[in-house]
Amino acid sequence: MDVTQVLCMNGGNGDNSYSNNSLLPRKVISMTKPVIEDALTNLYRALNFPKTLLMADLGCSSGSNTFLVASELVKSIDKIRLQFGQDESAEILIYLNDLPQNDFNNIFLSVSQFQKGLAKQTIRNSSSPPCYFSGVPGSFYTRLFPKKSLHFVHSSYSLMWLSKVPEMTETNKGNIYMSATSPPSVIRAYRDQFQTDFSTFLKCRAEEVVTDGRMVLTILGRRSDDPSSKECCYVWDLLATALNHMVLEGLIEEEKLDSFNIPQYAPCAKEVRNEVEKEGSFTIDHLEVSDVNWDASTDHNLILSEEDNTHGYNMGKCMRSVAEPMISSHFGEAIIVEEVFERYTNIIKDRMSKEETSLINVTVSMTRKA
Ligand SMILES: C[S@@+](CC[C@H](N)C(=O)[O-])C[C@H]1O[C@@H](n2cnc3c(N)ncnc32)[C@H](O)[C@@H]1O
């Protein structure tokens, strides 16, 4: 699998789009708002109230979450400059980055609407800060920006995706991810790939971020030291269950299943800290672990749209919007893909009705050293 060609969320605004099924990641972005605001306040002060701020959202996808991040960044900067008694807003340029298959067109079509909405939302009696956008297609495991050009980097729910499927010396039989039944060599291959990728990511960003620049990353992770623990593997184990049933019924070839592995690794906080310290260019200011229920609509503190409230939240559809391009590319026929997601959604619904199910987030805020 060539991850840069295959990995993307379902584009557009349709029923199965990421845009319409990403309440859970949206909730995670909202949860990390205080960490982002803190980092931006310290940045603003350290850079002595800059007139221009260049920011990047890496793995921005497309749809409402892309603009939620942008709006949080702009609103925070506006609030901070008022706190510091600055009359003039900084001009903000936000680079929106994702892999080339991402639906950038959908983003660009929504920019002017976002800018109009922003003018209404910014603090009363203050004109909204000038905000410009630029799309940056490419892998964040490569250099994306000129040296020392970025003041702030944000990324949410993207860095758990690896640059490639780990090279395995044994077959991960019956599994599509790390699992309790995966051979130890498979778990090692996943862990090694994460270490290589995350350290490459840090090296690239170290080149691009200015001294005192800040970076806030939220990664789908785990609390346990064990990379095959249920808290990070369960959601993919359930997809493997659906696929294994279809193998038993002769709908999918066994070899097809055995050759499919999800290019993802959910690290614990210790692994994130180790890689940052090993690479050495950033100081960790804050590292936290949080939980988010699969049923993101259960949190009443979150401001949801009317539609989110009335229809509840469907984790099956969220997972489809994330995994469908990968499943289609590997398993092919549309009819099989439909069947996979119908079964997967039913299994997820059943589990959610019987047990507490949540995902773990690792959020790290750091500063570029001199
Ligand atoms: C689950 S989505 C998260 C989107 C958005 N940040 C949010 O929180 O809703 C993960 C995004 O990361 C992108 N991604 C994965 N690997 C990437 C890479 N190497 N470089 C750039 N983007 C990547 C995917 O294409 C996808 O759009």
What local confidence, expressed as pLDDT, does residue 348 receive? Answer: 86
* Residue ranges of domains in the chain: 3-368
311 pLDDT higher than 70: no
What local confidence, expressed as pLDDT, does residue 267 receive? Answer: 97
Residue 334 Cα to ligand 1 middle (Å): 24
Top mean-pLDDT range of 120-129, 179-188, 196-205: 196-205
The whole-angstrom separation of Cα 336 and Cα 247 is 11
Cβ of 282: how many Cβ atoms within 10 Å?
21
Q: What is the pLDDT of residues 51-95, one digit of tens each?
A: 899 999 999 998 888 988 888 898 888 888 888 787 778 889 999
345 pLDDT higher than 70: yes
Order of all β-strands in the sheet with 52-58: 131-137, 91-98, 52-58, 150-156, 209-221, 358-368, 282-293
What local confidence, expressed as pLDDT, does residue 116 receive? Answer: 79
Q: What is the mean pLDDT of the chain?
A: 87
**Mean per-residue pLDDT, 254-274:** 94
User: What confidence category does residue 121 fall into, taking pLDDT thresholds of 50, 70 and 90?
Assistant: low
What local confidence, expressed as pLDDT, does residue 309 receive? Answer: 41
Chain mean position to CA 291: 15
What local confidence, expressed as pLDDT, does residue 176 receive? Answer: 93
Query: In the structure encoding, which two tokens stand for residue 158, read together?
Result: 């993207």
Pocket-testing residue among 5, 158, 202, 205, ligand 1, by greatest number of atoms within 8 A of Cβ: 158
Residue 59 Cα to ligand 1 middle (Å): 3
The whole-angstrom separation of Cα 6 and Cα 13 is 20
Nearest to 157 by CA among 300, 280, 296: 296
Nearest to 27 by CA among 235, 319, 344, 298: 298
Q: Phi, psi at residue 227, to the nearest 5°? A: -65, -15
The whole-angstrom separation of Cα 246 and Cα 7 is 23
End-to-end alpha carbon distance in the chain: 39
Q: What is the pLDDT of residues 291-309, one digit of tens each?
A: 988 877 655 444 444 444 4
Residues with CB under 6 Å of ligand 1 are 7-9, 22, 25, 29, 59-61, 65, 97-99, 102, 139-141, 156-158, 161, 163, 322
The whole-angstrom separation of Cα 275 and Cα 242 is 35
Percent of the chain with pLDDT over 70: 91
Residue 156 Cα to ligand 1 middle (Å): 8
Residue 128 Cα to ligand 1 middle (Å): 28
- 319, 157 in Cβ contact below 8 A? no
Burial state string for 316-334 with b = 16 or more CB within 10 A and e = fewer than 16? bbbbbbbbbbbbbebbeee
What local confidence, expressed as pLDDT, does residue 300 receive? Answer: 43
What single string gives the DSSP state of each residue in 351-362? HHHHS--EEEEE
Residue 139 Cα to ligand 1 middle (Å): 9
Give the number of the atom of ligand 1 that is nearest the alpha carbon of residue 8: 25
> CATH number of the domain at 3-368, out of 3.40.50.150, 2.40.420.20, 3.90.1530.10, 3.40.190.10?
3.40.50.150
Q: Could you tell me which residues are beta bridge partners of residue 330?
A: none
Percent of the chain with pLDDT over 90: 49
What local confidence, expressed as pLDDT, does residue 299 receive? Answer: 53
What local confidence, expressed as pLDDT, does residue 136 receive? Answer: 97
What local confidence, expressed as pLDDT, does residue 174 receive? Answer: 86
**What SS3 state is found at 125?**
coil
- 29, 72 in Cβ contact below 8 A? yes
Nearest to 101 by CA among 329, 330, 332, 338: 329
From 7-11, 41-45, 238-242, 272-276, the region with the lowest mean pLDDT: 7-11
Q: Which residue is it, tokens 């994330």?
A: 322
Tell me which DSSP letter residue 332 carries.
Answer: -
Q: What is the pLDDT of residues 312-335, one digit of tens each?
A: 358 878 888 888 888 888 887 666
What local confidence, expressed as pLDDT, does residue 67 receive? Answer: 87
The whole-angstrom separation of Cα 130 and Cα 141 is 30
Pocket-testing residue among 99, 193, 217, 324, ligand 1, by greatest number of atoms within 8 A of Cβ: 99
